[in-house]
Structure 1
Amino acid sequence: MNFDYKLFEMINQFAGQNDVLDQTVMLFSKFGPILFGLVLVWLWFSKSGRMIENRRIVMYVLTITIIVLGINKAIELMYFRPRPFVTHSVHLLSHKTSADPSFPSNHSAGAFAMTWALFFYRKKIGSILLILAFFMALSRIYIGVHYPLDVTTGAIIALIITVVVMSQKRFLDPIFQNFIQGFRKSI
């Protein structure tokens, strides 16, 4: 047995032991991405701070998230890793029976993509979302649908892409500014 699977077992062994915990983790794992999305909607329409700056942050978050999920899809097409429940006996809490690739985790990558980008601009909300993204990754292992390496890789890809995209601010800021001004004129 490898380290990745041993770590998976250490986390997944708690699944099925406490109904309240199981249901809480399942709900968070399933609907957590909506929570991250609601933060973006709130930030886009928020009047706190500078509205244009808030919208630019949302544009960065969306750009990074789209790139990260695109990279994940490319990796999935080149490398197929079965999900834990396909190759092992696990405590599966998900109704997922699909044999789509386990590596890398889209939930983890998406959560961390939104988190790193927000953290770059807004440390307070970014720190809160960083904790939530960590729990999102952990929840995917707990319910039996991802290995630790799957969620860690998703987080690392998100961090790398965030750094790359943020290094291109001088090119992206004018594009985002034009989009935001066009949006403001259209409403």
Structure 2
Amino acid sequence: MVLLFSNYGPLLFGFVLVWLWFSTSGNKERNRKIVLYALTVMIIALGINKVIELMLFRPRPFVTYTVHLLSEKSSFDPSFPSNHSTGAFVLAFVLFRCRKKLGSVLLMLAVCMAISRVFIGVHYPSDVTAGAIIAILATVIVMSQNRYLDLVYDRIIQVFGKRGNKTIDRDM
């Protein structure tokens, strides 16, 4: 079960974004704005990870130590920081800021994701902790720019809405 969650957990988090974008529950525009914030934070956080990976290559635990590896992973991929944990925590932090109940559930799942990555032998605890720290820092920075980003996101949502309406009108 831990192996499945570790390998396919990112899909679950991705499905949450897709569900939120197309969801009719609550304010549809607000839901879409949450998705756009999450994607923006994700791009920035994973970009930070990539810079760190290029500057500081840390071998994975199964390369340095004898561990019971539960998942196939390349020994050429850096261990620090954990992209899985960063992505999971980004989504959890953004949603927690905007929708406390769903965000709380995702925070618990992000912690499970982080623990599973250590358990299967592909990350050290510091790798997943660093992923969570990068995620929260990127979330705070991006969300603090909401007065600028809201203008851009409103326009994106408006364009997307108009395209959707034109498609529906042609079908009728």
Residue 135 of structure 1: aligned partner: 112
Tell me the distance in 2 between the aligned counterparts of 1:148 and 1:34: 22
Cα offset, 1:100, TM superposition: 1.0
Tell me the distance in 1 between the aligned counterparts of 2:121 and 2:134: 22
**1:157 counterpart letter in structure 2:** I
Instruction: Indicate whether 1:50 and 2:27 are aligned.
Output: yes
Residue 122 of structure 1: aligned partner: 99
Instruction: Indicate whether 1:63 and 2:40 are aligned.
Output: yes
Gaps of 5+ in 1: 1-23
Cα offset, 1:96, TM superposition: 1.5
Deviation string 1:123-169 (CA, Å, 9 cap, x unpaired) is 00000000000000000000000000000000000001101111100
Gaps of 5+ in 2: 165-172
Residue 17 of structure 1: aligned partner: none
Q: How many residues align?
A: 164
Deviation string 1:32-61 (CA, Å, 9 cap, x unpaired) is 000001011111011110000000000000
Aligned ranges 1:28-177 → 2 under 5 Å: 28-177=5-154
Deviation string 1:97-129 (CA, Å, 9 cap, x unpaired) is 332100000000000011100110000000000
TM-score normalised by structure 2 residue count: 0.94
**2:141 counterpart letter in structure 1:** V
Task: Note if contact 1:86-1:99 (Cα within 8 Å) is conserved in structure 2.
Answer: no
TM-score normalised by structure 1 residue count: 0.86
% identical aligned pairs:
65
